[in-house]
Amino acid sequence: MAGTQQSASRSHCWTCGFEAPAGSDRWETIDVVSLGTMTRCPECGSTNVSSGR
Ligand SMILES: [Zn+2]
C-alpha cells in the first residue's frame, strides 16, 4: 500500500467548510425544479457544495 492514496470521494461546503463523504446522508438533498437534486449543507444551509466528483 505504498504510494497511491485514493481517498473516498468527499464533498465539502464552500461556505462554512463542513465536510462529509459524497452521497452520505449527513448531507441534505433538495429538489430544485430547474436543476434537479442538489446537495445542501446541513450546517449552514448553503447549496454551494463541491460534488466529490
Ligand atoms: Zn455549510
The count of domains in the chain is 1
Residue 32 belongs to some domain of the structure: yes
Helices and strands per DSSP (H, E), number in the chain: 0, 4
Banded model confidence at residue 53, pLDDT cuts 50, 70, 90: low
pTM of the predicted model as reported, rounded to 2 decimal places: 0.73
Distance (angstroms) between ligand 1 centre and the Cα of 21 equals: 14
Q: Residue 3 has which C-alpha cell? A: 504510494
Q: Is residue 51 part of a domain?
A: no
Q: How far does the centroid of ligand 1 lie from the alpha carbon of residue 12, in Å?
A: 8
Q: Could you give the CA distance from residue 19 to residue 13 in angstroms, rounded to a whole number?
A: 6
CA of 3 to the centre of ligand 1 (A): 32
11-45: pLDDT as tens digits: 999 999 999 998 899 999 999 999 899 999 999 99
38 CB burial (10 A radius; 0-12, 13-18, 19+) = middle
> Looking at the DSSP assignment, which residues form a beta bridge with residue 21?
10
Structural Rg of the chain based on CA atoms: 13
What range defines the domain where residue 17 resides? 10-40
In the reported structure, the alpha carbon of residue 45 is separated from the centroid of ligand 1 by a whole-number distance in angstroms of 6
- Ligand 1 center from residue 13 Cα (angstroms): 5
Asked whether residue 17 is assigned to any structural domain, the reply reads yes
